[in-house]
Amino acid sequence: MTRLEDIAHRHDEASALLTEGSRVPAGTPILELKGLQKNYGYVQALKPATITFLAGEIHAIVGENGAGKSTLIKLLTGVITRTAGEVLWCGHPVALSTPNEAIARGINAVHQEVVLCPHLSVAANLFLGDEVERHGLMRKRQMERMAQSVLDDLGFYLPAAADLGSLTIGQQQLVATARAAMRGTQFLIFDEPTAYLTRQESAQLFKLIRRLQSEGVTIVYISHRMEEVFELADRVSVLRDGTHVGTRAIGETNESELIALMINRSIEQIYHKEDIPIGAPILEARGLSGPGFEDISLTVRAGEIVGLYGLIGAGRSEFALGLYGRHPLSAGEVHWMGRKVKIRNERDAMELGIALAPESRRDQGLCLNLPIGLNINLPVFGRLSRGPVIGRAEEAANADRQIRDLAIKTPSRRVPASSMSGGNQQKIVIGKWLSHGAKLFIFDEPTVGVDVGTKAEIYRLFAKLLKEGAGIILISSYLPEVYELADRLHVFRGGRLVGSHDFHAATHEDVLGEAIGV
Amino acid sequence: MTITTTESPAAAPRRGMNILFSLTLIGLLLALWIALGIGTASFWTPLNISNLLRQGAMTAILAVGQTFVIITAGIDLSVGAIVGFSTVILAWLLQAGVPLWIAIALTLLMGVAIGTFHGFGIVRMGLPPFIITLATLTSLRGVGLLITNGSTISITNEGFTNFARADFLGIPSLFWMVILIAVPAYIFLHLSRWGRYLFAVGSNSEAARLSGVNVNRTIYTAYILSATCAAFVGVLLASRIGIGNATQAEGWELQAIASTVIGGTSLFGAVGSVHGPLIGAFILATINNGANLLNVNSFWQRIITGLLIIIIVYFDQLRRRGSR
């Protein structure tokens, strides 16, 4: 075979492998959602949404974290089943109850986290579940050749024989996209695909998306990057707090309108900082170092909120865990109420009067499949026991008091914590520490995945704790939150303290600049 | 995921479901007894009933110990080997002229030591529970065979060997031993904070740790209790068979795990009770007993036990999914 013939042959093969396009004429509805709804226990993750996707369009979906985007994708790809509502595919009602059904209909998704096998080659991943065989044996060479021609045809310049795990996340994402494109996909969902991509990789991806569109594939593009939405999309739908708040043609809207649709009320609208007198130092950290943080010095006084801001992985949570005795400190001193102390483990920290509401409710904060009451009482069972036996009345009374005081919306303290919404779960974590009674509260990302009403309640609770003479360390990646709440704001970068500011002494831009390092 | 709070009507509390499950198990046990009473002439004879209680007693005690471990999301594969090894140690000590009570105490202490070793392997060496207890299973059998040189040691203390055959208030002494273990076990697991810590560690050990639970100590406790229960069963078995033999109690760990699982304990941890495994152990004992009475090939007993595990755990899964 000559080189030219070879190239021609390979091009045919690639075209044959790639998608065949839609059976529905462009511009007519391919997928219609009618009152689509999803509840998790008591939580409405997606309120009845009615959205129509037109064949061959690029339809962007935007919304803040926790707006319901992931829920929508999981519904469309059959990972979860809807609570109510109707889905029409090419005009016919469909169940979409399993991932296989979605794939069989031509609905595919490319996820932010690549869900492929890192120990297999790129080619093996592309053909996974669809291997080329002869007499029951895999045709490895042929698959690699075909995979290479697809990758070349898409202009990706990736080696088909390399292990997937040896590629960058961005390259893996391109492989995942190629895989979806090879599967006769008619409806392809991208879930924040550019989060880990370089500019060049993003450009390659956009080229591929446009090519798929030109072949009749309908694209759903989920992102919160406005510039990408305006570059790519034909239409855009906005989600907020699980509600579909509107769909616009891209030419009839602008960035500020979308942002206004997307965002929740700002901090100032739900909370006003109170003037609380600041008292004596509760905790002084002097040059603390440990796993993930180095040479951190800061002071927390009674009645003040100390904010720790930084990007994810900047060392704030690690510092909190180190202070709390979860990980050993390698250097530095901790002074508690003016006295030098040694915190060897969590129980030492608790005994001093430190409470930690950790970053991840699921992994660190709660025993999800156990009752709410047990979770609330976990730190204080010692106090609730007489001898070896727990006082049942005290146990019930303590749990019920926290449920009442924090307005945790549950029918009973016996309900497992997993059935609660994010906001109520956060209240359970907080309730644990209120009954323990601490002097220093560390709140690590307390309002992630929490609805507006609960956010306001949590802020009011901060004020109450401060008035009672406690000090608070507030860790947040949401700048307006620490900016408006903290009496003193420390900025972390790469495990170090890179800036410290009194309340409103620096601008948002200054703080963000320090955190990013520009 | 999006989160919004909604006011929802009260769901059925979980406790109600647990009672329902326990009642189902008791119902199954009673149904077996009634069916065997009708199907065989000899089931409801005093001799057979006390035989049944003796058979079930030892598995029941093992299952209670196993439950503590499984609630922490672990597993103890060594209990059968510990039972066999304990009969050897006890017989050996008695042969050496050690007084009975001291010999029993030393055997139980050896159980504590083995459990401590398991805790050490898991907490300090970071070994998976499956591996460390599997290693103990095989090596304890080996040590026992070395001590006895592959044979058996007879126990000549008649007072001791009569104990397992004795009755008290018309109930076999071995069954009294179940009550002796079950009552403090119930208090420990369901009424004390240490029991709560077992559940918390099994559900999410990191959350438990950050809430001030001494996770390492909790894990040590679970494995020590399991191994000590097994050593205690070894003492009872030695009394029953009158010998020390390292190959005794082959496969009892699986009987214990099966009883625990039939009794509603989740192998994923954080779900379990004391009464469930007790009922589970007697369901298994009844099946074995009934199969003997009905002259069913004993190989079938194993198959029936397997099917029963699948059916009960499957229905339990359905129930849990339904309650979501």
Residue ranges of domains in chain A, CATH in brackets: 3-262 (3.40.50.300), 267-353+438-516 (3.40.50.300), 362-431 (no CATH)
Identify from B183, B194, B211, B217 which residue to disrupt to test chain A contact, counting A C-beta atoms within 10 A and taking the largest count.
B211
**CB contact at 8 A, B75 and B257:** yes
The pLDDT, as a whole number, for residue A462 is 92
**Residue A325 is encoded by which pair of tokens?**
């005795």
Confidence of residue A224 (pLDDT cuts 50, 70, 90): low
Say yes or no for a CB contact (<8 Å) between A67 and B210: no
Say yes or no for a CB contact (<8 Å) between A66 and B1: yes
Number of H helices, E strands in chain A: 19, 24
| Separation CA B139–CA A138 (nearest Å) | 44
Confidence of residue A23 (pLDDT cuts 50, 70, 90): low
For residue A263, give the amino acid letter: I
Above 50 in pLDDT, residue B236?
Answer: yes
Say yes or no for a CB contact (<8 Å) between A381 and B214: no
Above 60 in pLDDT, residue B4?
Answer: no
Half-sphere exposure of B45 (CA within 13 A, CB side): 10
| Separation CA A309–CA A323 (nearest Å) | 17
Above 70 in pLDDT, residue A11?
Answer: no
Q: Which residues pair with A62 in a beta bridge?
A: A238
> Strand, coil or helix: what is B55?
helix
Q: Kind of pairing, strands A218-222 and A58-62? A: parallel
The pLDDT, as a whole number, for residue A362 is 83
- Using the Cα atoms of residue A96, residue A101, residue A106 and residue A112 in order, give the sign of their dihedral: positive
The pLDDT, as a whole number, for residue B310 is 85
Say yes or no for a CB contact (<8 Å) between B206 and A363: yes
The pLDDT, as a whole number, for residue A18 is 56
**Nearest of A50, A41, A40 to residue A74 by alpha carbon:** A40
Q: Give A191's contacts in chain B (Cβ within 8 Å).
A: none
Measured from the Cβ of residue B169, the count of other Cβ atoms closer than 10 Å reads 5
Say yes or no for a CB contact (<8 Å) between B208 and A378: yes
Q: Give B2's contacts in chain A (Cβ within 8 Å).
A: 45-46, 66-68, 70-71, 239, 241-242, 449
Low-confidence winner among A169-183, A253-267, B162-176, B295-309 (lowest mean pLDDT): A253-267
What integer is the mean pLDDT of B68-81?
A: 94
A25 or A449, higher pLDDT: A25
Above 80 in pLDDT, residue A369?
Answer: yes
**CB contact at 8 A, A49 and A36:** yes
The beta-strand segments (E) located in A185-336 are 187-191, 218-222, 235-240, 243-249, 281-290, 293-301, 305-309, 331-336
Q: Give B264's contacts in chain A (Cβ within 8 Å).
A: none
- Using the Cα atoms of residue A339, residue A340, residue A342 and residue A346 in order, give the sign of their dihedral: positive
pLDDT digits 0-9 by tens, B141-177: 999 999 988 889 988 888 888 888 888 888 898 999 9
pLDDT digits 0-9 by tens, A499-512: 899 988 888 778 87
| Separation CA A306–CA A319 (nearest Å) | 13
For residue B137, give the amino acid letter: L
**pLDDT-above-90 percentage for chain B:** 56
User: Which residues lie closer than 8 Å to A382 by C-beta, 6 or more apart?
Assistant: B193
Q: Give B213's contacts in chain A (Cβ within 8 Å).
A: 378
Q: Give B324's contacts in chain A (Cβ within 8 Å).
A: 41, 419
Confidence of residue A194 (pLDDT cuts 50, 70, 90): confident
Say yes or no for a CB contact (<8 Å) between A374 and B4: no
What integer is the mean pLDDT of B225-248?
A: 94
pLDDT digits 0-9 by tens, A68-95: 888 888 899 888 889 999 999 888 899 8
Above 70 in pLDDT, residue B1?
Answer: no
**CB contact at 8 A, B291 and B305:** no
Low-confidence winner among B1-10, B127-136, B146-155 (lowest mean pLDDT): B1-10
Identify from A369, A374, A419 which residue to disrupt to test chain B contact, counting B C-beta atoms within 10 A and taking the largest count.
A369
Q: Give B7's contacts in chain A (Cβ within 8 Å).
A: 409
Whole-number average pLDDT of chain B = 87
The pLDDT, as a whole number, for residue B3 is 37
Low-confidence winner among A472-476, B38-42, B57-61 (lowest mean pLDDT): B38-42
Above 80 in pLDDT, residue A448?
Answer: no
Q: Cα A459 to chain center, whole Å?
A: 22
Convert A363-393 to b/e letters by CB count within 10 Å (16 or more is b). Answer: ebbbbbbbbbbbbbbbbbbeebbeeeebbee
Residue ranges of domains in chain B, CATH in brackets: 50-322 (1.10.3470)
Above 50 in pLDDT, residue B7?
Answer: no
A44 or B292, higher pLDDT: B292
**Nearest of B35, B252, B51 to residue B140 by alpha carbon:** B252
**pLDDT-above-70 percentage for chain A:** 91
Say yes or no for a CB contact (<8 Å) between A411 and B214: no
Confidence of residue A113 (pLDDT cuts 50, 70, 90): low
**Nearest of B247, B243, B246, B249 to residue B94 by alpha carbon:** B243
Whole-number average pLDDT of chain A = 85
Residue of A nearest to B71 (CA): A370
Least CB-CB distance to B191: which of A382, A390, A416?
A390
Above 60 in pLDDT, residue A360?
Answer: yes
**Nearest of A433, A429, A466 to residue A448 by alpha carbon:** A429
Residue of B nearest to A369 (CA): B203
| Separation CA B164–CA A338 (nearest Å) | 65
Say yes or no for a CB contact (<8 Å) between B197 and A366: no
**CB contact at 8 A, A148 and A157:** no
Q: Give A388's contacts in chain B (Cβ within 8 Å).
A: 187-188, 191-194
The pLDDT, as a whole number, for residue A21 is 45
**CB contact at 8 A, A307 and A482:** yes
Least CB-CB distance to A68: which of B2, B199, B208?
B2
What integer is the mean pLDDT of A288-305?
A: 93
What integer is the mean pLDDT of A341-346?
A: 93
A517 or A153, higher pLDDT: A153
Least CB-CB distance to A358: which of B197, B210, B213?
B210
Confidence of residue A10 (pLDDT cuts 50, 70, 90): low
Confidence of residue A8 (pLDDT cuts 50, 70, 90): very low
DSSP codes, A380-399: GHHHHEETTEE-HHHHHHHH
Confidence of residue A470 (pLDDT cuts 50, 70, 90): very high
Q: Give A419's contacts in chain B (Cβ within 8 Å).
A: 11, 324
